[in-house]
Amino acid sequence: MKKDCPQCKKATDLSPANLYRPFCSEKCKLIDFGTWTNEEKLISRPIESEDFYED
């Protein structure tokens, strides 16, 4: 199955053979990780205990 890389938008393989899925490469994966560690991306609300249970 092919889908666009969330970072660079290049078509990438989502099969288990791609070690970096859903990213196309280690570079894109590390760029995304960096944006989270710099707090450029945030979760929109606090996680509640109810979020861990299915209805």
Contact by Cβ (8 Å): 28, 9: no
pTM of model > 0.75: no
The domain spans of the chain are: 2-37
Instruction: Give residue 49's pLDDT.
Output: 83
**Predicted local confidence at residue 55, as pLDDT:** 59
pLDDT reported for residue 51: 77
- DSSP label of 12: E
DSSP string, 13-43: E-STT-TTTTSSSHHHHHHHHHHHHTTSS--
3-class SS of residue 4: strand
Give 2-37's CATH code, choosing from 2.30.42.10, 3.30.50.10, 1.10.3720.10, 3.40.50.300.
3.30.50.10
Distance of alpha carbon 36 from alpha carbon 2, whole angstroms:
25
**β-bridge partners, 11:** 4
Express each pLDDT in 19-46 by its tens digit.
Answer: 999 999 999 999 999 998 888 888 778 8
